[in-house]
């Protein structure tokens, strides 16, 4: 109907323009524009013309009772998850494959998503673990020399739901005001709004062990470094090799690549790997990786961390940082809406420098609950929360954010070098220094 009306309007305007031109300038011709719309055989049979745009066919129902109509892409169905917003301007593919988003709907505050498509070099894990993707505008075309397929096709193959044409700014304001909310995303018209609302109010992400669902199932070796065309800072200057055991609580591949680029050979082990087996490997250091969910829901991981502390240098990132906090006797708490994005300012209290960091966490360590000797090394300048810890007596360092970025700036990449230096110091200790340290640790245990 709209096409017919538009055609009639153009025809009417052309007729009027022709009549005026014919009397004054017979050599001029009025332009003629024909607007046509393909009508399918089904539409012709039913008398209903197919629209060139997609209608709303999905709903996001939040636990506060708000209902957001949207258009779907990717997979179809019904899914429940915690809604969080991410302020990154780029890197949606790395976000999609970050295991730390397990159980969550990621809302991108940047309105235009999908314009660079998908390539298979930027994967941060073996699959997509997030519950769904919420965006304002889905790009109808892709333009990138590495693009292998469109975003919608990528999500559909991985059974991940996505919605667009929804007011992401309004939802973000709601999350900032009320905190992270549980939501249900559905393309199923048979389910009522009340049923979806009940689903959102009967599920909770707190207290769920999400790590076991994203961790590897058996140990494996990692040797790949950051590709030469993307490398920075290291320049192949690290000749000495350090042996690291990395606990996979949902580890991102670029953490492994950065460690390898700094001269580390890495054995990746599952989240349930016993501390005794780790120590049998005689590593120069142990990494406790990032991961999803509530650190209080994985007491077995806290116990593993406790049994390793003080025996070798350790480095905790995100979830690993929170587990270290609990293992040291501190407490963690759930933040109002967490930190998710590639533009969070952090102050390094040791140097006074400010770093722009990539962050993704909903929990934080309470520094007031930590024992004497543990130092807060970094703070988030947005809210003053603890962003880094160090305990020299037990060779501990940790960050609440991602030094490898991916996506995000590289301001904090030096942390990998600091970990290497910590291992090097321990490796080059004189025998009497090691005996003194062991006697000190024995006294602390007693």
Residues 170 and 173: their CA atoms lie apart, in Å, by: 5
Q: At what angle do helices 299-308 and 319-327 cross, to 10 degrees?
A: 70
More confident residue, 11 or 151: 151
Enumerate domains of the chain plus CATH numbers.
2-46 (no CATH), 58-201 (3.50.30.20), 220-445 (3.40.50.880)
Q: Is 213's pLDDT higher than 50?
A: yes
pLDDT digits (tens, 9 = 90+) for 127-160: 999 999 999 999 989 999 999 999 999 999 999 9
pLDDT band at 236 (very low <50, low <70, confident <90, very high): low
Residues 221 and 113: their CA atoms lie apart, in Å, by: 35
Q: Is 443's pLDDT higher than 50?
A: no
Residues 284 and 241: their CA atoms lie apart, in Å, by: 9
**From 339, 344, 361, 402, active-site residue:** 402
Residues 142 and 150: their CA atoms lie apart, in Å, by: 7
pLDDT for the residue numbered 187: 98
**From 63, 94, 355, 404, active-site residue:** 404
Q: Is 238's pLDDT higher than 70?
A: no
pLDDT for the residue numbered 24: 45
pLDDT for the residue numbered 228: 74
Residue 124: DSSP 8-state:
S
Active site residue 318: yes
Which value, in Å, is the radius of gyration of the alpha carbons in the chain?
Answer: 27
How far apart are the two ends of the chain, measured CA to CA in Å?
84
Active site residue 437: no
pLDDT band at 47 (very low <50, low <70, confident <90, very high): low
- Other beta carbons within 10 angstroms of residue 444's beta carbon come to 10
**Inter-CA distances, 333 with 85, 207, 336, 365, 397, Å:** 19, 12, 10, 7, 20
Q: Determine if the peptide bond prior to 384 is cis (ω within 30°).
A: no
pLDDT band at 239 (very low <50, low <70, confident <90, very high): low
pLDDT for the residue numbered 223: 87
Q: State the chain's mean pLDDT as an integer.
A: 88
Helix (H) / strand (E) element for 56: namely none
Q: Is 262's pLDDT higher than 80?
A: yes
Strands (E), 254-405: 264-269, 285-288, 314-317, 331-348, 354-366, 375-380, 386-391, 396-399
pLDDT band at 230 (very low <50, low <70, confident <90, very high): confident
- Other beta carbons within 10 angstroms of residue 175's beta carbon come to 19
pLDDT for the residue numbered 4: 43
The SS3 assignment for 262 reads coil
pLDDT digits (tens, 9 = 90+) for 280-325: 999 999 999 999 999 999 999 999 999 999 999 999 999 999 999 9
pLDDT band at 183 (very low <50, low <70, confident <90, very high): very high
Residues, the chain, total? Answer: 446
pLDDT digits (tens, 9 = 90+) for 370-414: 999 999 999 999 999 999 999 999 999 999 999 999 999 999 999
pLDDT for the residue numbered 226: 85
Residue 402: DSSP 8-state:
B
**From 264, 318, 340, 361, active-site residue:** 318
Please, what sign has the CA dihedral across residues 331, 335, 339, 345? negative
Q: Is 87's pLDDT higher than 70?
A: yes
Q: Model's pTM, two decimal places?
A: 0.85
Strands (E), 25-136: 58-62, 67-74, 78-86, 104-108, 112-113, 132-134
Residues 49 and 132: their CA atoms lie apart, in Å, by: 32
Cβ atoms 232, 410 nearer than 8 A: yes
Q: Burial of 339 by CB count in 10 Å (0-12 exposed, 13-18 middle, 19+ buried)?
A: buried
Active site residue 404: yes
Please, what sign has the CA dihedral across residues 302, 308, 310, 313? negative
Please, what sign has the CA dihedral across residues 176, 291, 322, 343? negative
Q: Is 20's pLDDT higher than 80?
A: no
Identify the bridge partners of residue 389 per DSSP, sorted by sequence position. Answer: 376, 398
Strands (E), 262-327: 264-269, 285-288, 314-317
């Amino acid at each position: 109907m709209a096409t017919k009306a538009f055609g009639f309007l153009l025809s009417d305007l052309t007729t009027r323009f022709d009549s005026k031109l014919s009397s004054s300038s017979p050599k001029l011709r009025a332009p003629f524009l024909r607007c046509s719309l393909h009508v399918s055989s089904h539409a012709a049979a039913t008398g209903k013309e197919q629209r060139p745009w997609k209608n709303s066919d999905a709903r996001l129902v939040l636990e506060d009772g708000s209902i957001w109509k949207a258009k779907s892409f990717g997979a179809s169905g019904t899914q429940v998850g915690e809604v969080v917003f991410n302020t990154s301007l780029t890197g949606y593919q790395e976000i999609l494959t970050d295991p730390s988003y397990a159980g969550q709907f990621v809302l991108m505050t940047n309105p235009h998503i999908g314009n660079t498509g998908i390539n298979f070099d930027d994967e941060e894990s073996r699959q997509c673990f997030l519950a769904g993707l919420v965006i304002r505008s889905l790009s109808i075309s892709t333009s990138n020399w590495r693009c292998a397929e469109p975003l919608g096709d990528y999500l559909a193959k991985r059974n991940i739901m996505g919605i667009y044409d929804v007011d992401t700014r309004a939802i973000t304001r709601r999350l900032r005001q009320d905190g992270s909310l549980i939501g249900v995303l559905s393309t199923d018209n048979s389910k009522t709004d009340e049923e979806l609302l009940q689903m959102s109010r009967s599920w909770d992400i707190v207290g769920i062990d999400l790590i076991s669902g994203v961790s590897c199932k058996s140990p494996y070796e990692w040797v790949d470094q950051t590709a030469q065309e993307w490398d920075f800072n290291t320049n192949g200057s690290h000749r000495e090799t350090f042996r690291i055991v990395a606990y996979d609580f949902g580890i991102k591949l670029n953490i492994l690549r950065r460690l390898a680029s700094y001269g580390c050979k890495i054995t990746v082990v599952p989240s349930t790997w016993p501390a005794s087996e780790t120590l049998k490997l005689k590593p120069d250091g142990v990494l406790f990786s990032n991961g999803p969910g509530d650190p209080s829901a994985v007491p077995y991981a806290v116990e593993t961390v406790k049994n390793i502390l003080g025996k070798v240098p350790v480095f905790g990132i995100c979830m690993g940082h929170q587990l270290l906090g609990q293992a040291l006797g501190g407490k963690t708490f759930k933040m109002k809406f967490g930190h998710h994005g590639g533009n969070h300012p952090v102050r390094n209290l040791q140097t006074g420098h400010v770093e722009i960091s990539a962050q993704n966490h909903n929990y934080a360590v309470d520094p007031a609950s930590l024992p004497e000797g543990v130092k807060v090394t970094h703070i988030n300048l947005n809210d003053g929360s603890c962003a880094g810890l160090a305990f020299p007596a037990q060779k501990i360092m940790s960050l609440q954010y991602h030094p490898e970025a991916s996506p995000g700036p590289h301001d904090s990449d030096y942390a990998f070098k600091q970990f290497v230096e910590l291992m090097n110091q321990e490796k080059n200790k004189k025998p009497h220094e090691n005996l003194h340290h062991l006697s000190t640790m024995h006294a602390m245990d007693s």
